[in-house]
Amino acid sequence: MKPRILVTRAIFPEVIDRLAVHFDVDYNDQDVALPPEQIAARLGDKAGAITLLSDRIDASVLANAPGLKAVCNVAVGYNNYDLGAITQAGVMATNTPGVLNDSTADAAWALILATARRIVSADKWVRNGQWKGWKFHDNWFGNDVHHATLGILGMGRIGQAVARRAAGFDMRVIYHNRNPLAPESEKSCNAAWVSKADLLREADFLVLLLPYSPAVHHAVGAAELAAMKPTAHLINVARGGIVDDKALVEALQEKRIAGAGLDVFENEPALDPRFLGLDNVVVTPHICSSTRATRLAMAMLAAENLIAALSGQRPPNLLNPEVWRG
């Protein structure tokens, strides 16, 4: 008899077909998150699960799933997982790093360029029939990206992909991590480690790529925003909660920073409605990894993690190796 698994939300037919070779699949084929109580109920007889970032897996869910062996997130981030509770339950947890690096880096650059050159507001201006003729002086002045300073807070795989793209704009690249990268990694993306204070003070474009955890909640708040240049732009393609959105709205309203490009928000999708009234912010609905090829690769990697986990092999992207009993 095949092990039973749960797929919590609509993914791709190809992935379901791949899973069905190995498992009896309970599939929520609607692209709507299941309520926590439904996830808990449907996990009751399951050996594994493919989850999305909208699915909270914690002690209350695990208590109803005594036979659960693995939960596999279709995301690089896993702040929807209580990893401590999952580990205590002896359940393997995995994520999908690597396959979304380039798509997310591309999207970060789309936000950099859109905010710097006021693309969204200019597009709206034309569509609303307000363009009455070309001007030379004060004609939608934006900020130059070329030769500016790119700052990256959180220089992991995606941060390095963002940094490498800066070479085409002849930018100076600085970054801050708790620990500097190896010299060869710094050289490959032409980046230099600086303190967080120097990063905030010197960056013209500050890209946030920290993985979310309670330790970095509001890592960029009122004090950090006050340390930035008034001409600087903040780009958040990481997770909501890393930025204090209330403080950011106020900084944008008062033009204490020049602009922001945001793909993630606190309490999303119920973002602070004041963002929508600002013309110096570009907002997108958490889509930085959203190309079909990338999302398919993410879902397929989650499937391969689960197949390995339930076949007695170590999953390639195991987050809690202490539970591995190979």
DSSP state of 43: T
Name the catalytic one among 217, 256, 274, 286: 286
Q: Is 286 a catalytic residue?
A: yes
Looking at domain 101-283, its CATH superfamily turns out to be NAD(P)-binding Rossmann-like Domain (3.40.50.720)
Name the catalytic one among 4, 217, 268, 274: 268
Q: How are beta strands 92-94 and 233-236 bridged, if at all?
A: unpaired
CATH annotation of 4-99+292-323: 3.40.50.720
Interval 114-156: pLDDT, tens: 999 999 999 999 999 999 988 888 778 999 999 999 999 999 9
pTM above 0.75, yes or no: yes
Task: Tell me, letter by letter, the H, E, C secondary structure of 203-236.
Answer: CCEEEECCCCCHHHCCCECHHHHHHCCCCCEEEE
> Of all residues in the chain, what percent carry a pLDDT higher than 70?
100
CA gap 94, 309 in Å, rounded = 9
4-99+292-323 and 101-283 have identical folds: yes
What pLDDT shows up at residue 325? 81
pLDDT at position 326 over 70: no
Closest CA to 39 of 9, 84, 69: 9
Residues 6 or more apart in contact with residue 130 via CB below 8 angstroms: none
Name the catalytic one among 9, 42, 118, 239: 239
pLDDT at position 293 over 70: yes
Quote the longest CA-to-CA distance of the chain: 74
Strand order in the sheet with 4-7: 24-27, 4-7, 48-51, 70-73, 92-94
Q: How far is CA 319 from the centre of its chain?
A: 17
The domain limits of the chain are: 4-99+292-323, 101-283
DSSP state of 8: -
Residues 6 or more apart in contact with residue 161 via CB below 8 angstroms: 101, 102, 104, 105
